[in-house]
Structure 1
Amino acid sequence: MPRIRASIVSRVALVVALCAAGAAPAAADQLRPHPRTTTVRQESPRSQRALDDPSDSDLAVVSVSIGGAQPGGTTKLRVLIANLGPDVTASPVTVTVTVPSGASAVGPFFPSSCTPNANASRVVCTFAPGLYLLKTATAQIPVHVQSTAAHGSVLMGGRVMVSSPDDTNTGNNTASYAVRVG
């Protein structure tokens, strides 16, 4: 105990000496809570754009994956889109999925904004504005293979397309996919 007490006394003496020399705030100042400060980051002119104005964005389909399914079975299509920039999207982004012949889209879909057409051959998903540079968005569409599909066949004609008024490069907006049966 004497050792701890000596340590405390020497620390207090050091603080008093520093305060007297003006090298540190007074002990009373150290006990007062410091006011919270907020740092406001200056936004670039590109990020101050009105949400109604199109941005300079490059949307791309960067990944499409789907597993196989047995006749009468269901698999899940996963679509990954990205904003290659340079701006944050200022308009909604639409992903349109066309399902191959011999299959149909079945819910539930992700995101919940996805809606199929009447015969479930096409699903449209809408994402809100605000997809940042190099960020991605995902759509997941369950795909049901008809029970009449031949075992070992490949259902061709699946297509994914991303679109937005902000998109400045449409060369990377589509991708094809197929579903293996069996």
Structure 2
Amino acid sequence: MASGVTPLGGRAAVSADEQRAPNSEDGLQVVNVSADRTKVRGLTVVRALVANLGPNPVTDRFTATVRLPKGVTVEGRIFPDDCHLDDRGRELTCRFRKGLGLRHSATVLLPLRIADNVPAGQRLSGVVAVQDPDRPDRTNPTRAFSIDVE
């Protein structure tokens, strides 16, 4: 049935692309970020999930950036391997070697050590952003995360 033709029941039949609202969330998105609570001087892992919500596959390399909370340091192996910490130790940039197929996901795994001067009961906050190479003019999608220190 052609777009714009009204079938029985009175509702217009439109494709999924036509149903998508303008400027709706699509392309590369940070869909989830989590970190387990930990103790002072404890170790936790930030897990960030980036997904391609479409409508097209991403064929170029893409980058995820993690702004670290104050009071943490990176300790241990990071995934993916191509991650670099800035000179201040506050921002980690990870490059993914391949694109990302439609409705596929990629993960950043980031082990963090809580400093001994962070008081118990503190909630530390950071942000993960993804840069979509197919949409360089778009504001980078972000998602905040928190680490509860016991």
Task: Give % identity.
Answer: 33
Residue aligning to 1:90: 59
More off after superposition, 166-175 vs 132-141: 166-175
Greater helix fraction, Structure 1 or Structure 2: 1
- Return the TM-score normalized by structure 2: 0.76
Residue aligning to 1:116: 85
RMSD of the TM alignment (CA)?
1.9
- Are positions 1:127 and 2:92 aligned together? no
Q: For 2:138 and 2:148, locate their aligned partners in 1 and report how far apart those are by CA, in whole Å.
A: 28
143, 155, 159: which is aligned to 2:124? 155
**Structure 2: any 5+ residue segments left out of the alignment?**
1-25
- Return the TM-score normalized by structure 1: 0.63
Q: Rg: which structure is higher? A: 1
Residue aligning to 2:114: 145
- Are positions 1:177 and 2:130 aligned together? no
**Structure 1: any 5+ residue segments left out of the alignment?**
1-56
Residue aligning to 1:67: 36
Quote how far apart the aligned CAs of 1:126 are: 0.6
Greater strand fraction, Structure 1 or Structure 2: 2
3-state SS of 1:133 partner:
coil
Q: Is the 8 A contact 1:105 1:122 kept in 2?
A: no
Q: For 1:103 and 1:111, locate their aligned partners in 2 and report how far apart those are by CA, in whole Å.
A: 19
Q: For 2:107 and 2:67, locate their aligned partners in 1 and report how far apart those are by CA, in whole Å.
A: 16
Q: Which has the higher contact order (CA 8 A, sep 6+)?
A: 2
Q: Is the 8 A contact 1:59 1:172 kept in 2?
A: no
